[in-house]
Amino acid sequence: MIERVIKKINWIKYKNNLRFQKVCKRLAFWLAKISKVDLFEDAAAKKNFVEIIKYVEGRRTKKKLEIDGQNFEYLFHSYNNLGLTERSVEIPIIQFYLNNLKPKDVLEIGNVTNYYQSYYENSFPNKTVVDKIEFCYNVITSDIAKYFSDKKFDFIFSISTFEHMDSDLDRNPDYKKGSAKSLSIAADNIIHCYENLLATNGTLLITAPMGYTPEWDLTFKNDWLLRYGFNNVTRHLYKRISIEEWIKLDSVNLNDEMNYDEPFPYANYVAVIEIKK
């Protein structure tokens, strides 16, 4: 069945969108595994692969993500998501902070929210985006470690970016083992953002999947966050309880095993580090 799915992907109009293909492949696999439905035999999806997307839209959850008494729609988007990836919960988490903080000057590390403009509407009055790799309109292409600004930001956030800053499972060509000044390159960059870019009374927020890279897991779990001397630091943890539903845990047990891609696709835990200055 999976071979047929992959063959079908090459026929659809999205064939040049590699991220879309990747999510679609995973989507077809997991829907088949969980629902035990062959998507090319099912009446709702047998014509071609585009019909799978319609099939999935029909399964889109009406449940809400609750964050401290506020309810948010899960992200469902064709770009790197389709309701499966950790973006489903990370995007509304950022919206929660935007609603509550109402920041004036925002710095995003990693170009993510530009792909989901319809979700955020007018949430960003003044946003600067820094991304190490992407060359895009309104994006500063720079390693965040080398980025400095005369302007300080009252809200700095990052979505699924800090877990890639170290070895990234040997995919980061710039990584040199032992080069971190503190616990990890990710930790170094948290310190850099706090010391050099965050305004007084500002908030630094980082979301990233657990179980994806060992360096990020260590950065989140290790007590260096408490020892460094940040003014106010809190660790939050979100857990996937079904393929389409997440909960914010009341407490963080750092000894828990937090697997990636098991038992559900993509992240099963999303870590959030919140630091106030």
Do 76 and 40 share a structural domain? no
The domain boundary residue, chosen from 17, 41, 59: 59
How many domains are contained in the chain?
2
Pairing of strands 153-159, 198-209: parallel
On whether both 157 and 48 belong to a single domain, the answer is no
CB 88 within 8 A of CB 95: no
* 53 and 68 together in one domain: no
Instruction: Tell whether 41 and 170 lie within a shared domain.
Output: no
In terms of residue numbers, what domain contains 55?
A: 2-59
Residue 186: which of 112, 271, 90, 94 has the closest Cα? 271
Are 11 and 142 within one domain? no
Task: Check which CATH number belongs to the domain holding 216 and give it.
Answer: 3.40.50.150
Is the distance from CB of 270 to CB of 208 less than 8 angstroms?
yes
In a shared domain, residues 82 and 106:
yes
Give me the tens of pLDDT residue by residue for the chain, a chain 277 residues long. 444 444 444 444 344 455 555 656 556 555 555 555 454 455 444 444 555 555 555 556 678 999 999 999 998 876 766 677 899 999 999 999 999 999 999 999 999 999 888 787 777 878 999 999 998 888 999 999 999 999 999 999 999 999 999 999 999 999 999 999 999 999 999 999 999 999 999 999 999 999 999 999 999 999 999 999 998 999 999 999 988 899 999 998 888 899 998 888 889 999 999 999 9
Q: Are residues 105 and 205 in the same domain?
A: yes
Question: How far is it, in rounded angstroms, from Cα 110 to Cα 98?
Answer: 17
Residue ranges of E strands in the chain: 64-67, 70-73, 106-109, 127-131, 140-141, 153-159, 198-209, 232-242, 245-248, 269-276
Contact partners, residue 18, CB within 8 Å, separation at least 6: none
Residues 151 and 197 in one domain: yes
